[in-house]
Structure 1
Amino acid sequence: MYRSRERLNVLKSISILCVQLQLLLLCGGTFVNETSVFGPEKLQAFKIFDDEQQPQISARSFICVPLFRVFSLELGNNIHLAADEYVAVSGDHPALGSWQLDKAMPLKEQDKARSKWYLRLWICASQRFYYRYLVYSKNAEGKRILRSWEGQKVARMLQTYEMYRSPGVDIYGEAYPTSVGGGFHLERGWLQHEYVIELKFVWQDHFVISGISSNAKYRLTLTPLNVMDDTRIEVSRFSYNHSAFRAQSQQGVKYIPGTALIYRIYQPLDTYNAFRLSLYQSNRDIKLSLGEAYIFPEQIKGSRGILQLPIFASLQNVAIGEVTLPYLVVQPMPKVEAGNLRASFHHYWPDNWPTLDVGHRGLGASYFQSSTSFTENTIESFLAVEQAKGDMVQLDVQLTKDYVPIVWHGFGFYTSERDQPIRDRFDLRFVLIRELTYSELKASRVFILKRWTVKEYTHLNVRDRSQSQRIFPKLSEVYEDLPKNLGLLVEIKWPQLMASGVLESTQSLNKNNYVDRIIQTTIRYGCGRPLIFASFDADICTMLRLKQHVFPVILMSIGKSNIWDPYMDLRTQSYQQAVNFAQSAEILGTALHVENFQNKQQSVELGLNLQQVLFLWGNDLQNVHLLEQFRALDVSGLIYDHMDQVGPSAWKRSAFFRAHQLLELFGAQCVASGNSTTIPGVKPAKPTIWPKLR
C-alpha cells in the first residue's frame, strides 16, 4: 500500500511539472492557438462549416453555466384566475420552451388565493434571455388554451450580469413602465383548440314582443344547456371606455334598443351546445323572466347567419314575440400551432410616431378621376407613392371563386364576350369577382362606366403588359414587388348591409376560409414589413383579431356622413361607436371619413386618449391646408389621393419606414407567425462573457 501511494505522488508531481512547463512556454512569448492542435486542412474545414451556418435567433452555441433561477410572480391589477387557469413562463431559451405554448414551464401556486406563483429552474447563464408570463387552461384532451399573455413589444430580459442578483417579484402584465411600448399590457390569446360564436345585438331593433314597446329596456342572460361545463361566455356592452369583454354576471346584462351588445361564446372544437336566452324587464323582479328563446346547434351553420327565434312566455309554451339575432362563427387558423409567443403586434403603434402619409389605392382612384397619373390598385401606382416619399399604401383585397387574393376595389366589373362589338352600356353585363376563378378573371374583358360613357381596360389585363401595370394583381405579387420599407394598409372587402335593408353586393364564399387565405398569403409573402389589416366589416376585424397575433387590425368606417348612406351595423354609424368596438374587439384603432371631424376636430381625442390609432380618409384630404391641420392634431395617418401633387415630397427628407431599425423590428412578425426562425438582416445575440465553441 505504501508503494502504491508513493507511485501516486510521483504521478501527481509529474502532472504539476507539465502544467508549469506549459505556463513557462506561454510566459516566454510562445502563443498556443488552434494551429498547434489542428492542421491546415482541419482549420479550412472548420471555416467552411462556420460560413455555411445560418444564424439562428434562438441558438445556444455557447458554454452553458447552469444557474438556479427563481421566477416569482404576483397577480395585480384586480386579476383573478378561474379554477381551470394556470400560470406559466415562456422564453427564447430551450429550458423555457423556445416561445412555444405547449412547452412553456408552469409555475406553482404559492398561496390559497392563487395570486402568487413561483418556479425554480436550472438554466444556462452564458447569455441573456427573454421571457414572458402567460395564463392558460387545458381542454379535455390536455391541450393548452392560451387565455392571456404579456404583450409588451420587448419581452422581459435577464442579462448575464444580472444572473446572480436576487430575482425580485414580477407583476403579471407589467414590464418596462417608463419605456415606449412598456407598462401594463396583456394580450388575449389567439384561437387554437377552440372556436368562438358571437351573438350580436348590433342593429337598431331586435325584439318584437306582444304588448311591449319597441323602446323597452331589458336585462338579458345567456345560459348554456350542456351537461359538461366546457363553455365560456363573455359579454361586451358598448359604453365609452367600458366596452371590453367580461364574464357574464349572474344578474345578466342591461340591454337598451339602439345600443350595441355582443355575447361571445368559447367552445372546444367539435363541441356543439344549445343555449337559452332569457329576457327580464329591467323594472321588474329579476327572478321571473319575461320570456325565453332557445338556440340549438343545428341552427348555427357556416360562418355567419341570422337567427329568427320565437320567444316563449316563462313557464308556458306560448310564443309572445320574436328575436332577430345575427351571429358569427370564428374558427382557428389551419396550422395555427406554428404561431408562438415571440411577439405581438396587435397594439404596436407607438404614439410618438409622426402622422403618416398613406396613398389611397396608390396615387389615388383613377377610374373616375382623369387627373390621376397611374391606374389605381396597380403595382406601378403603389411604387409611385414611394417616389413621392409616402409612408404607406392603402389597397383593396378580395378573393376570386377559387380563393385567390387579388387587388381590386369594386365587387365586380362590366364585361362582355371576346368578339362582341360594344355600342353602349346595354351591351355589357356586370360580373362579380367571387363568380370567377383567377384564370377566368385574367381572360375577361374589363369595362368601367363613367356616368354614361364606357371605357375599356382590357389592355391592362393581358400577359404582354408589364406586371407593374396590370390590373387584378395577386396579393402575393404585390408583397413580393413592393419594397419592405413601404408600409401597407390592406383593406379586406366584404359587402355590407345598408341601413335601408339593401345589400351592397352578395357574397357566397365561406367567411372563415376567406379570411384564412388572406392571412396565410400575408404570413408567407408579406411579413417583416409595416402592415395593418383593415375592413369596413366589423366581423372581419373580429376574425382577424382572434385568428392571429402578428398583424394589427383597424376598423374602417363612414361614421356620420351626408355623403354616404349608413350601414345597418351600429358599430359603424359613428366615431364613438367605432372607438367602442375597437376597445371591445381589442384591435389597434379606427379609420374614419374626414367629414366626421371637419367641424369638431378635437373629437379625434376620443380614440387617441384610449391609446387607439386614428387614420382619416376622404376626398377632402386633397387640400394641403386641411392635411396640415390634422397633422397638428397628431392623428396616426392620412389616407388621400394625388400624393405626388399635395404630398410631403417638398418638405419630407424620406419616408418614415426607411429607418433600418424599424424593419428589424417588424421582422419579428415572421418569427412570431412561424414563417421563419430568424429575423432577416438581424445578427443573432452574442455572448457577453463566454467564448463561442466550434
Structure 2
Amino acid sequence: MVVRRWETDIAPRKLSTSVLEDVTRCSSVEHFGCITPMPHVDRGWLNVESVVQLKLYNNPVELWKKRQRKYRIKVTPVNLEKKMLQEPLLTGEESSEMDMQTLRGGAMWPIMELAVMQEGETSFKHQGQFGREYLADDFFTFQCQMLKPDTIAYMVDLYSATVAEDGTAEHIGFCHILPKNLKLTTGIITLPITGTNHQPIGQLTVDYLMVRPMTEMKCRMESSFSRYWRATWRGLDVGHRGAGSSFTHKSEVCANIRENTIASLKQAIEHGADFVEFDIQLSKDLTPIIYHDFHVGIALRKKDIVEDHHLLTVPLKDLEYSQLRQLQVYNIEEGKMGSLHLENDTTEDSQPFPTLQLAMETLDPHVGFNIEIKWTMQLQDGSFELYHPFELNSYIDNILKVVLTYSGTRKIIFSCFHPDICTMLRLKQNRFPVLFLTQGETNQWPPYLDTRTQTLEMSLLFARSAQILGVNVFSGVLLKQPEFVKHAQAQGLIVFCWGDDNANVETIRYLKSVGCDAIIYDRMDKYCTKDNKESIFLMESRQARAMSLGGADAISDGSDASSDTATESCHGQPTGLVCCPPAEAEQDS
C-alpha cells in the first residue's frame, strides 16, 4: 500500500448507509478532505516505497561558455527495468522540439515532483513540460517516490529559459544520474552535462537524499498528530536539557545537576515543565542515548583537577553503551573549566548517557518530550561537525523504534537543525510532529552550507514544503524580529524558541506575550513563574477525568484521535489540525 494523500481531520468521516450500499444512488457528494469546512489533506508516509530527493542550490549548473545562459531544469525518472533507454536519441533541431520525457514512455510511476523555496511554490507539484527556470539563489527539491530505487535512473534536462510562441523551448543539454551514483543515504555528486551535439558543455552539482521506509515498525491511520497543536498550548515552558546546561561559564544559568540526565529532567518536571528538551544520538552499538556533544573526554590519568590537555577526545559514536557507562568519561567543557564540579554526584539518576528508553519508562507520562536529533552539519567552509557518522536511515530508524514502542500516551515533538533529518522524520512516520531548528541570521555561530538553514524566511518555506509542524528559532534573532512569530503562525506553523537569552524572567514573559508557542530555557527551578508547578497536559488530563465523571464527553490525555473535537480552534482555524494556507492547499480528487 502506498499512501499518497489522506484525510487527516480530527473528526472521523461518517458515511451514510446509502453511500455504502450504492454510491450511484446517494444524493450527496462526499468531497475528499472536506469533513469539516476547512479541508484537511496531508501527505502520507513511507510504507513500502522509498523517496529520493535531488536538491539543486548555490547555482548548481556551470556552463563552460563565457556567457552563462538562463535555463530551465526538468528531472525525469527512467525505469531501467523497462529498457526505455533503447529508443534512439534525436539530435539537433529534432531534439529541441520535443519533450525528452516522450523518450521515456511518460509512465505515471515513479512520480517526480518539484518544490521551490519561493513563496507559492513550496508544495511538491508535477513539473511543466519544460521544467522550471532556475533563478539565482533558488533552492530546487525534486522528489521521486519509487518501489525499487536500484532500478531508477534520472534524466536531467536543461532547456532555454525563453519559451517560443509555439510553446516550445530549446533543448540545451542533459545528463543522467544512475542508481550507482547514489551510493550513500546522502551525498553530493558532480556530473558532466552533454550538449545536443554530444559534446560536454558543463557540469551539474546535485545534493541527494535517499529515504527508505522503516522495516521493523509500521505506522497506521488510527491517529496522527504530525501537524496537530491545540490553541490552548501557547506559551509553554520547556526545560532545556532538563534543568539546564551544566557546562557554561555563566554561573547564573549553570545548572547544579548534570545536564541531559534523568535527575536533570526530573528537576525540570518538578518545577513546572510542560516539555523537557534533550538531545539524542546513537552509541556504537546503536543504542539511543541522551547526550549533547558529538565528542567525549576520557581522562588519561586520575587527577583531582582534570584540565583540557589531560583529556583524550573521542567521538561518542565510537564507544559502545557499556563502555560509556564503565569508562571515566567527561564532558569536553569540564576540561576547559578545569573542574569536575559534578563528579561527586554518584546517584544512578545523575549519571550521564541515560538511554532514551529509560527516559520513556521512568519520567512522568504527562510531561512532553522535545527530542532533538543530533546529526553532523556541513559548514560553509566545507568542513563537517563530525566525520564518518552512521548510515542515516538506520540512525533514524533506531531512534524511531524506541519512541514508537515506549511513547505510550506521551506528547512528543522531534526537532533537528538538519533539514534532511526533519524530512526523514516526517516521511518515515505519521504519528509525531517535527520542528525545524534554526539559528537564523546571526554571527554567533559559523553559518551552515545548506541555504535552507540561513534565514528565518527560508526556515518557513522549508517547514511548509516538508509539511512539518513548525520552527524552533534562536531567540537572539527572534527578539530583534518579534513580528516573525505572528508571521509564521499566519502560515499555519507553530513557533518554539531557544537560546541563552531565555534564561530571564522578563524575557520569558515577553516571548509569551508576542505569542511564542513554547520557550526553551535553562534553570526551570529559577525562572519558571507558574503558580501551579505541573504540566499543562496533567491539568488537561485531570479536567478530562472530571468531565468524564460528571457525565460529559471525556477528553483523553493520550494519543487517541477522539481526544479533540473538530470545532476546536487552533491559531484561529476551525479545527485542531494545523493546515497549509489556502494558497498552498493541495488539490486532490
Q: Residue in 2 aligned with 1:355?
A: 235
Q: Residue in 1 aligned with 2:146?
A: 267
Q: Which structure 2 segments of 5+ residues have no match?
A: 83-106, 545-553, 564-589
Q: Residue in 2 aligned with 1:91?
A: none
Contact 2:50 2:149 (C-alpha < 8 Å) held by counterparts: no
Q: Residue in 1 aligned with 2:78?
A: 225
Q: Residue in 2 aligned with 1:243?
A: 122
Point out the more displaced range, 216-225 or 521-530.
216-225
Superposition pairs of residues 273-672 of structure 1, within 5 angstroms: 273-283=152-162, 287-316=169-198, 318-336=199-217, 338-368=218-248, 369-370=250-251, 371-417=254-300, 424-447=307-330, 448-449=332-333, 452-456=336-340, 459=343, 465-649=346-530, 651-652=531-532, 654-658=534-538, 659-660=540-541, 661=544, 664-668=556-560
Change (3 A) 1:212 1:539: farther
Q: Give percent identity, aligned residues only.
A: 30
- How far residue 194 of structure 1 moved from its aligned partner, in angstroms, is 1.0
- How far residue 220 of structure 1 moved from its aligned partner, in angstroms, is 0.3
Point out the more displaced range, 204-213 or 628-637.
204-213
> How many residue pairs were aligned?
513
CA distance, structure 2, for counterparts of residue 377 and residue 167 of structure 1: 59
2:46 corresponds to which letter in structure 1? L
SS of equivalent residue, structure 1 residue 289 = strand
CA distance, structure 2, for counterparts of residue 295 and residue 246 of structure 1: 21
Contact 1:422 1:428 (C-alpha < 8 Å) held by counterparts: no
CA distance, structure 1, for counterparts of residue 497 and residue 304 of structure 2: 43
Change (3 A) 1:641 1:424: closer
CA distance, structure 2, for counterparts of residue 386 and residue 636 of structure 1: 18
CA distance, structure 2, for counterparts of residue 488 and residue 546 of structure 1: 20
1:332 corresponds to which letter in structure 2? P
Q: Residue in 2 aligned with 1:79?
A: none
SS of equivalent residue, structure 1 residue 476 = helix
Change (3 A) 1:159 1:267: closer
2:338 corresponds to which letter in structure 1? V
CA distance, structure 2, for counterparts of residue 553 and residue 423 of structure 1: 39
SS of equivalent residue, structure 2 residue 189 = strand
Query: What are the Cα deviations for residues 427-461 of structure 1, in whole angstroms up to 9, with x where unaligned?
Result: 32211111111112222222333584433489589
- How far residue 513 of structure 1 moved from its aligned partner, in angstroms, is 0.4
Q: Residue in 1 aligned with 2:60?
A: 206
1:176 corresponds to which letter in structure 2? T
- How far residue 192 of structure 1 moved from its aligned partner, in angstroms, is 1.3
1:454 corresponds to which letter in structure 2? G
Q: Residue in 1 aligned with 2:30?
A: 170
Query: What are the Cα deviations for residues 86-126 of structure 1, in whole angstroms up to 9, with x where unaligned?
Result: xxxxxxxxxxxxxxxxxxxxxxxxxxxxxxxxxxxxxxxxx
Selected match of 2:41 from 168, 177, 186: 186
- How far residue 581 of structure 1 moved from its aligned partner, in angstroms, is 0.6
Contact 1:576 1:606 (C-alpha < 8 Å) held by counterparts: no
SS of equivalent residue, structure 2 residue 2 = strand
SS of equivalent residue, structure 1 residue 515 = helix
- How far residue 509 of structure 1 moved from its aligned partner, in angstroms, is 0.7
Taking only aligned residues, the RMSD between alpha carbons, in angstroms, comes to 2.7
- For normalisation by structure 1, the TM-score amounts to 0.70
Change (3 A) 1:153 1:665: farther
SS of equivalent residue, structure 1 residue 274 = strand
CA distance, structure 2, for counterparts of residue 266 and residue 217 of structure 1: 29
Change (3 A) 1:586 1:423: closer
CA distance, structure 1, for counterparts of residue 66 and residue 476 of structure 2: 38
Query: What are the Cα deviations for residues 519-563 of structure 1, in whole angstroms up to 9, with x where unaligned?
Result: 100011123211101111110110111111001111101111121
- How far residue 372 of structure 1 moved from its aligned partner, in angstroms, is 1.5
CA distance, structure 2, for counterparts of residue 163 and residue 274 of structure 1: 43
Q: Which structure 1 segments of 5+ residues have no match?
A: 1-143, 178-182, 672-694
Point out the more displaced range, 576-585 or 246-255.
246-255
Point out the more displaced range, 343-352 or 223-232.
223-232
Contact 1:396 1:409 (C-alpha < 8 Å) held by counterparts: yes
Selected match of 1:196 from 51, 74, 85: 51
CA distance, structure 1, for counterparts of residue 351 and residue 493 of structure 2: 36
- How far residue 305 of structure 1 moved from its aligned partner, in angstroms, is 1.2
Structure with greater contact order relative to length (CA < 8 Å, sep ≥ 6): 2
Change (3 A) 1:270 1:460: farther
- How far residue 239 of structure 1 moved from its aligned partner, in angstroms, is 1.5
Superposition pairs of residues 50-129 of structure 1, within 5 angstroms: none
- How far residue 518 of structure 1 moved from its aligned partner, in angstroms, is 0.5
SS of equivalent residue, structure 1 residue 546 = helix
CA distance, structure 2, for counterparts of residue 327 and residue 319 of structure 1: 23
- How far residue 319 of structure 1 moved from its aligned partner, in angstroms, is 1.7
Point out the more displaced range, 359-368 or 655-664.
655-664
2:558 corresponds to which letter in structure 1? F
1:224 corresponds to which letter in structure 2? P
- How far residue 169 of structure 1 moved from its aligned partner, in angstroms, is 3.1
Query: What are the Cα deviations for residues 638-657 of structure 1, in whole angstroms up to 9, with x where unaligned?
Result: 111122111123x4464211
Contact 1:523 1:670 (C-alpha < 8 Å) held by counterparts: no
CA distance, structure 1, for counterparts of residue 160 and residue 505 of structure 2: 54
CA distance, structure 2, for counterparts of residue 628 and residue 453 of structure 1: 32
Change (3 A) 1:583 1:283: same
SS of equivalent residue, structure 1 residue 149 = strand
CA distance, structure 1, for counterparts of residue 372 and residue 303 of structure 2: 35
CA distance, structure 1, for counterparts of residue 240 and residue 272 of structure 2: 14
Contact 2:270 2:533 (C-alpha < 8 Å) held by counterparts: no
- How far residue 294 of structure 1 moved from its aligned partner, in angstroms, is 1.2
* 1:154 partnered with 2:35: no
Contact 1:527 1:669 (C-alpha < 8 Å) held by counterparts: no
Contact 1:444 1:458 (C-alpha < 8 Å) held by counterparts: no
Change (3 A) 1:234 1:154: same
Point out the more displaced range, 369-378 or 484-493.
369-378
Contact 1:303 1:329 (C-alpha < 8 Å) held by counterparts: yes
CA distance, structure 1, for counterparts of residue 247 and residue 398 of structure 2: 28
- How far residue 381 of structure 1 moved from its aligned partner, in angstroms, is 1.1
